[in-house]
Amino acid sequence: MSKHYAVFGSPITHSQSPRIHAAFAKQTGIGMDYVAIAANHDDFRAKLDASGVVGANITLPLKEDAFALCAGNVSARALRAGAVNTVLRDGAQWRGDNTDGLGLVRDLTERHGLDLRGRRTLLLGAGGAARGVAPALLDAGIHSLYVINRNSARADALVDAMGEPGRTHARAWDTLPALGEFDLLINATSASRGGQLPSLAMALVAPRSVAVDLSYGEAAVPFLAWARAAGCAQTVDGLGMLVEQAAESFLLWHGVRPDTAAVFAELSGRADALLTA
Ligand code: NDP
C-alpha cells in the first residue's frame, strides 16, 4: 500500500515539492503519494497529526516550529541549525532533520562547479532557510560568514548557534556598505517573494563574486538582477537547491537517493518558460 507524504507551509499552492517527489517515486519505482498542505504556526501540529503522513517536508514559515515539535529527536545538522525541514514518523513521535544546507552545497559544488573553500560569505536573512544553510557552508570550508537580518536578534542567535565566533559575525543592516567585497552573497530572505529587494550596496560585489537567491523563478529576479548590475560574475537561483534537498529527504524516507539531473532539467525548463512568457 502506498504511504503518504506531504509538504507543510504557507503559502504552499505553488510548491514544486509534490511534482519533484512524484518524479523521484516514478524513477525509483517506490509507491507513495505526496501532497501540499497549507498550515501556519497555530494549526501545523494538528494538521500534521491529522494528515496520516509518515514523512513530511516543512517549509516557510514552519521550520522552527518543526524543530520544536521534534525536540530531542533531531539530527546533528538540524540541532546546529535549530530548524527542521524534514520529519519522519518515529513511533508516536517525529524525528527531524535538515537537508537544506546539503542541498545548497551540492547544487553549488556539483551542478555549478563552484569551490566554496576560502570564500568570504554574506548571508542575508536569519530565518529557517538561513539557519539550515549556514552550518553546511561553514563545513564546506568558506572563509567567514557575515549574517545580516532585519530583526538583528535573530542574526545574533544564528551566529551564536554556529559556535564559531572567529568565523561568523552578525552585523546590522546599516553597516552593509562598509563590510567590503564578498566572494559569495546569498539572499535567504523571503523579501523577494513579495517582489521586494532588501537595501543593498554595490560595494559588496566584485567581478569574482557569485550571488545566490534561495528562491527561484520570478521571486529570484530582483536580487539576481541587482547582482548582475553590480558586476557579479555568476548568479544562481534556488531551484537546484530545492531539487537536491528533496533528494536528501527522499533518501531519509526511502533509503534510496534518486538521480536529480532529469528532474532539475524539467523544472528549469519550466522556470525559463515562466520567465520568458
Ligand atoms: P522564514 O519565514 O523562516 O524567514 C524569512 C526571512 O526573510 C527572515 O530572515 C526575515 O527577516 C526575512 N525577511 C522577510 N521579509 C523581508 C524584507 N522585506 N526585508 C528583509 N528581510 C526580510 O523563511 P525561510 O527562511 O524558510 O525562507 C526564506 C527564503 O528561502 C524563501 O524565499 C524560501 O522560498 C527560500 N527557500 C528556498 C529553499 C530551496 O530549496 N531553494 C529552501 C528553503 C527556503 P526577519 O527575521 O527580520 O523577519
Any idea what DSSP says for residue 74? B
Report the predicted TM-score, pTM, of the whole model to 2 decimal places: 0.94
Give the pLDDT of residue 58. 97
Same domain, 149 and 264: no
Question: Quick one: pLDDT band at residue 269, thresholds 50, 70, 90?
Answer: confident
Give residue-wise pLDDT tens across range 34-90. 999 999 999 999 999 999 999 999 999 999 999 999 998 999 999 999 999 999 999
Name the domain count of the chain. 2
Give the pLDDT of residue 276. 40
Same domain, 130 and 222: yes
Question: What is the C-alpha separation between 47 and 44, in angstroms, rounded?
Answer: 5
Same domain, 201 and 122: yes
The pLDDT of residue 271 is above 80: no
**CATH number of the domain enclosing 92:** 3.40.50.10860
Domain encompassing residue 160? 101-237
Same domain, 30 and 105: no
The yes-or-no answer on residue 63 being catalytic is yes
Q: Of 52-66, 157-171, 193-207, which range is least confident?
A: 193-207
User: How far does the centroid of ligand 1 lie from the alpha carbon of residue 29, in Å?
Assistant: 34
Across the range 97-122, mean pLDDT stands at: 98
**CATH number of the domain enclosing 222:** 3.40.50.720
Same domain, 148 and 223: yes
Question: What is the C-alpha separation between 196 and 190, in angstroms, rounded?
Answer: 9
Cell 555568476, located at residue: 234
Contact 56, 7 (CB under 8 A): yes
Cβ of 140 less than 6 Å from ligand 1: no
Q: Nearest Cα to 27, choosing from 236, 234, 263, 245?
A: 263
User: How far does the centroid of ligand 1 lie from the alpha carbon of residue 110, in Å?
Assistant: 24
Protein residue with least CA distance to atom 2, ligand 1: 61
Question: In a mutational test of the pocket of ligand 1, which residue from 86, 189, 199 has the highest number of ligand atoms less than 8 Å from its CB?
Answer: 189
Question: In a mutational test of the pocket of ligand 1, which residue from 190, 212, 250 has the highest number of ligand atoms less than 8 Å from its CB?
Answer: 190
Same domain, 167 and 192: yes
